[in-house]
Amino acid sequence: MARENPRWGSMRILGELRNLNVTAHPTAEWVWRQLIEATPWDKQPKYLIRDRDRRCGGYFNARAARLAIEAMLNPCAGA
């Protein structure tokens, strides 16, 4: 964000980050909705590094592939 907006100060960047939608107990649908809302107008990432939990498993990879996003597993297993 800082590279894309070199004239923004740290407080503005912090303010932009606070606008992210956060929840203590995300569901698979919630995670998917966050991806869709974060990548409007066909500006999706080429790769998505995801956790190894159920929220991103199952149909998540297939849905990402339909958007030309390659879902890659986090190389570290959670504790």
What CA–CA distance (Å, rounded) separates 77 from 35? 22
What CA–CA distance (Å, rounded) separates 52 from 64? 15
- Whether the CB-CB separation of 56 and 35 falls below 8 Å is answered with no
What CA–CA distance (Å, rounded) separates 48 from 54? 16
For the segment 26-78, what is each residue's pLDDT rounded down to a tens digit? 788 888 888 888 777 777 888 888 877 777 767 888 888 888 889 888 877 65
* Token pair listed for 76: 């570290």
Count of residues making up the chain:
79
What is the model's pTM? 0.56
For the segment 3-28, what is each residue's pLDDT rounded down to a tens digit? 776 666 666 666 666 556 677 777 88
